[in-house]
Structure 1
């Protein structure tokens, strides 16, 4: 049988097909020269026509049973190899954790327990845990739709100042809910807008929980990202933080960083480490944090139970992410803890577009300096995997970013470059 008891070469198997999956495949190839098996419903642009990826396409990439069945088939074809299973979206992590008993017969499954996943994936529960640990979060009100089908149901009052933020407490509960105007995150300007959202969610059959939070002021440059890895013994072996410069602003991608500078911030990393230690966390984690300009405090928004879509910023700064999980799970070796401090610009945007939005002159100067020093990385621009088709895709993706920002986040001022 393949899996953790095997002794042959190791084989990464990754669920999904987005830019974060390609970043993982690139990290595996850079560190070990291996090709990753990618299991998904389609070979989407980020992983299409790649020399470092072997595709396993299922008929329905949203059907857990099809994905699990294909994972078993892949494992049986790689009998004798050490198989490492990775996933990089919340619902896929949940699927893996829920099928852990079966999948661990074949794979190393480096994820947290289902009980802890349920707790930390829920933004309402996450806020409660942070409060208990003295970690600051935005003021949060929970709206429970469990009984929304009842005739007498009414939403709880919200006494926060407007505008405010509303989002699903658990992305798994929200995944398959469809209604006009659906977004990942809602910025609500008036009580009437909030009432309309509650009505749309109720009518669409949503029966999970939504959180309403105070809007922490400041633009995208107030955001921070923290990536960490906790090994099987509970030791935090990787910590890395980044200063976000610009996020995506399309309805489906809202909040995903599009450009970041790796910047070590020990105070913020210390709070993230406290959360991971006190909760008994295992595996990769990615925190979304915002610096509140009113008092300079870090407001922790959520923790993703995975490495994150933009994980390549860590590898680009000198700490190849997959080394930590390979040596922990497959080699059984303790890795000396690493706190990343090399400054690198991670960006999926044309430089001119990015600098158009970075209006703080000191921050823009840092960006220009990194560009001049060629300390810049785009996760899809991997020299070992740039066929003509891949080059064309990356070029078109950059052009498309200009179009998306022009439509969804227009900006009239320009710093120039």
Structure 2
């Protein structure tokens, strides 16, 4: 959308910086943020792994700061790196984290980044993003505030796993307990379905004396639907932008990143999400994954990402607002125009939706709430006014190491 087409005024004197920690160069969310604000004339900067990532070649990027990180660095080193980038930009800059590590780092070092660095970002309790990114922390908050969530166990020892296996209802799924475990050698490779006690105990022998896993209730895909909620909440946890949609396909199937999704209005789910965010006092962009369990008719919260999701460009209001634009407007003292979300839009990630589509067709799974047609399709990579990221993605995907890059590309 061109800047002349939007019914609001943006402060073009305040740039934005896309912040990422770790190696996942094929990340379309960062490209989406660069385009969203760049089309409005906001100067855009980004942290990139190298000069040949798709984001680094966007026409809307003022400068790429090449800064390879792993996520295992000491926080002090990462903060110093951000401060160096801030000094190079030379003026107050809005921060846009694309992963949990960056969101947690910003929250836990907010005073220094805002004071010494002059960065602009929503302020929440310093420990809250880390707790939300943790499976155990999120589960505890859901229980405390009465938000439905799958039943879960958090074994601390091998004996705890053994006791769970003796009484659990199978199948169950195993996930890494902490979001940051993926930077280390994870206990499990993503969401793992476990059929029975024997299989669980065989896996548990590999987890060591302190299993870093959550064992969670399995919600059968034939009785479930995947919903997503994106929003932006101001300093009082008031929603200035709220959107709901259905995840039609993911890759890997049923357990991975969004490959295709549709906008679908869901007032009940939006209300539940807003109430939860207000109760915990969070401020900023949220990307929530919910699963409708048709067996009991309840929406259950699976994941709370305290940052923008990779598929955020699925959602836009009739006034041209997405969550990234809402944050920039709010932090620069501009009003965020209210308007309903544009209906029946579709979001497709070109390089993973084809294998996802084939896998879903083989399984015969169809999401009931997916519209038959879309009024418009937002592609993750291809854009008429900015094609270099698309071609760069294709080139990198075809390289021999593409499979490894996909495993590292884990943001939703």
Please classify the TM superposition score into its range, dividing by the shorter chain length: 0.7 to 0.9
1:74, CA displacement in angstroms?
2.1
Q: Which residue number in structure 2 is paired with residue 26 of structure 1?
A: 35
2:323 aligns with 321
Confirm whether residue 169 of structure 1 aligns to residue 177 of structure 2.
Answer: yes
1:286-301 map, 5 Å: 286-301=287-302
Instruction: Extract unaligned runs of 5+ from structure 2.
Output: 1-10, 408-412
CA-atom RMSD in angstroms: 3.3
Tell me which moved more, 212-221 or 261-270. Answer: 212-221
8 Å contact kept, 2:223–2:295? no
**Equivalent residue, structure 2, for 1:142:** 154
Q: Deviations over 1:161-200 (max 9, x none)?
A: 222111123212x133316x84122211222222233222
Per mean C-alpha deviation after superposition, the further-off stretch among 69-78 and 313-322 is 313-322
Secondary structure, counterpart of 1:202 in structure 2: coil
CA distance in 2, matches of 1:290, 1:342: 21
So what's the TM-score if we normalise by structure 2?
Answer: 0.80
User: Aligned equivalents of 2:317 and 2:169: distance in 1?
Assistant: 40
Q: Tell me if structure 2 keeps the 8 A contact 1:111–1:284.
A: no
Structure 1 residues without counterparts, runs of 5 or longer = 1-6, 409-417
- Equivalent of 2:60 in 47, 52, 59: 52
Q: C-alpha distance in 2, partners of 1:131/1:109?
A: 29
CA distance in 1, matches of 2:370, 2:205: 46
Range 375-384 or range 390-399, more displaced: 390-399
Q: Contact conserved, 1:260 with 1:347, CA < 8 A, in 2?
A: yes
- 1:101 and 2:111 are equivalent in the alignment: yes
Q: Calculate the TM-score normalised by the size of structure 1.
A: 0.79
Give the Cα separation in 1 of the matches to 2:178 and 2:97.
17
What is the rounded CA distance, in whole Å, between the counterparts of 1:141 and 1:285 in structure 2?
Answer: 25
Equivalence for 2:199: 193
Q: 3-state SS of the aligned residue for 1:127?
A: helix
Judged with a 3 Å threshold, the aligned counterparts in structure 2 of structure 1 residues 96 and 307 are, in CA distance, closer, same or farther, namely: same
In the alignment, structure 1 residue 92 sits paired with structure 2 residue 102: yes
Q: Indicate conservation of the 8 Å contact 2:350/2:381, yes or no.
A: no
Aligned position for 1:413 = none
Measured after TM superposition, the shift of residue 44 of structure 1 is 6.1
User: Contact between 1:58 and 1:66, CA under 8 Å: does it hold in 2?
Assistant: no
Structure 1 distance, partners of 2:370, 2:220, is: 23
Contact kept in structure 2, 1:243 and 1:261, CA below 8 Å: yes
Deviation at 1:66, TM superposition (A): 4.5
Matched, 1:392 2:398: no
Distance 1:15 1:101, change over 3 A: same
Match of 1:42 in 2: 50
Q: 1:388-410 deviations in whole A, cap 9, x for unaligned?
A: xx44335568989xx98xxx9xx
Helix, strand or coil for the counterpart of 2:296?
A: coil
1:15 aligns with 2:26: no
Q: What per-residue deviation string (whole Å, max 9, x for no partner) do you get for residues 186-215 of structure 1?
A: 211222222233222216xxx575221111
- Count matched residues: 376
Shift of 1:59: 4.6
1:222 to 2:225 alignment: yes
- Distance (whole Å) between structure 2 residues aligned to residue 116 and residue 288 of structure 1: 18
Residues in 2 aligned to 1:260 and 1:224: alpha-carbon distance in whole angstroms: 9
C-alpha change, 1:185 and 1:44, in structure 2 (3 Å) is: farther
Deviations 1:318-372 (A, max 9, x none): 4322221112112x244355552521010113776665436467959834x22xx
Which of the residues 77, 83, 87 maps onto 1:76? 87
Correspondences of 1:189-338 after superposition (within 5 Å): 189-202=195-208, 207=210, 209-218=212-221, 222-249=225-252, 254-315=255-316, 318-330=320-332, 332-338=333-339
> In 2 relative to 1, CA 396–243 (structure 1 residues): closer, same or farther, beyond 3 Å?
farther
Per-residue deviation, 1:125? 3.1
Deviation, 1:137, is 1.1
> Contact 2:249/2:260 (CA < 8 Å) preserved in 1?
yes
- Runs of 4 or more above 4 Å deviation: 336-339, 350-356, 358-365, 394-400
